[in-house]
Homo-oligomer: A and B are copies of this chain.
Amino acid sequence: MSSAERLIESTRELLWERGYTGTSPKEIQRRAGAGQGSMYHHFAGKPDLALAAINRTAEEMRAKAEAGFTVPGTAMERITGYLRRERDVLKGCPIGRLTQDPEVMADPGLRAPVEQTLSWLRDRIAEVLEEGRERGELAPGLDPRTTAATVVAVLQGGYVLARAAESTAPFEQAITGVLDLLAAHTSRPAAG
């Protein structure tokens, strides 16, 4: 792996673990096994390197989510599969956590991928729910857009509760709770 590559990967890890404000170029270099000169040769500075790291993480997050949504099955099964997917719960969402970083949110370039990724996720879940409604799997009274916002919020908030408790239990409970609530709005035409 090239120096530039190792620098990006180290930055991704540190942004996840410590956020943008809490991450220094020095620590990035140390973890990447690269010197100052190498970093400033490949990247203009900390914001430039962070942008590369955030863009890659955002892309990866979309790909993982999309893989879950594209599988066959009812809307409820696809949402369940997405929510129950294996996750590093105690580390939280690498994109969602950046919303708490004032320096990220103050920089339009760094904020854009964060905004777009979470916006895309809500839209995508709303589409899945809309498809389920069209197929008669979901109650017509269920609004796809508000429900999608709720699903994404439970996920993001579940991470917060897990980190606070230093336990995955509240995350699992939050997911189970919203799936139980959703289940009451489903009918299963195939299974009767």
Contact = CB atoms under 8 A, between A and B. Distances in A.
10 contacts: A21-B22, A22-B101, A100-B160, A105-B166, A152-B157, A153-B154, A153-B177, A153-B178, A154-B178, A178-B181
* Copies, count: 2
Interface residues of A, number: 55
Contact of A146 (B157, B164, B176): B176
Main secondary structure of the interface of A (DSSP, over half): helix
Closest 7 pairs between A and B when the two form their complex, measured CB to CB: A157-B157, A153-B157, A150-B177, A156-B157, A149-B173, A153-B174, A146-B177
Interface of A: 17-19, 21-22, 92, 96-97, 99-103, 105, 114-115, 118-119, 122, 139, 141-143, 145-158, 160-161, 163-166, 170-171, 173-174, 176-178, 180-182, 184-185
